[in-house]
Structure 1
């Protein structure tokens, strides 16, 4: 059996803030919008969002109403221009959690926070 990653869905509080962050600031193309559900083309994987209420209606899962601060994952976006992307986000008021720095394995990495508190890694390609 072979599986492949088709998409990631984030449950969000404010769809308009989310659209601004991922569409305007990060520059991803909106692939589709269906009520409270949106999709962005990020390359090989689709990044999707739905409101918390919309997610509960579709899945019947106990998705919480508020943003949660405990993090168990991050989204990583690769670019050759880590500093430039981070500076654009900073100017827009996005919280920068870690300034760009070189890791021991040679990759440049920075962290920011999206409107719902998800950790977003902005990094250079590996090797």
Structure 2
């Protein structure tokens, strides 16, 4: 058995949310249905994986409803925080917090994905 775990991101607009994560360096590995408007998109970036799925997924699978407001916070390491942040905001991605120097040496800024979930962008000692 292959050991792996990955988060599911429940999205109102699967294509837009998947495209947002593709801007952060994730690559689409598969989608369902294979043609047309997807309701499931698998993405990978190195060994990191995530899936963007339609917000109706929890109700269809186990009878739970997706809540309102932020449903998760993603933390993504980037090589150049300023360039990435500018590219995203120039593309209309809302910024929640300008870059801040953290005591441990990283710089962190916050944006939102298309569903309003916070995404921390971090650069620093890991680069």
TM-score, structure 1 as length reference:
0.82
> How far is the alpha carbon of 1:63 from its aligned partner?
2.2
SS at match of 1:7: coil
CA contact 2:98–2:109 (8 Å) conserved in 1: yes
Deviations 1:46-66 (A, max 9, x none): 111110123422x223123xx
The 4+ residue runs of structure 1 with deviation greater than 6 A are none
SS at match of 2:79: coil
Structure 2: 5+ residue runs without aligned partners?
34-38
Aligned counterparts of 2:58 and 2:41: Cα–Cα separation in 1: 12
Pick from 57, 62, 65: which aligns with 1:63?
65
Deviations 1:5-61 (A, max 9, x none): 5211011001121122122x223110110231111102222111110123422x223
Question: Residues 42, 61 of structure 1: CA spacing in aligned structure 2 closer, same or farther, 3 A cutoff?
Answer: farther
Structure 1: 5+ residue runs without aligned partners?
none
CA contact 2:70–2:117 (8 Å) conserved in 1: no
Does residue 1:38 correspond to 2:41, yes or no?
A: yes
Measured on the aligned residues, the alpha-carbon RMSD in Å equals 1.9
Deviations 1:42-94 (A, max 9, x none): 2222111110123422x223123xx72245x4111112201110000000010
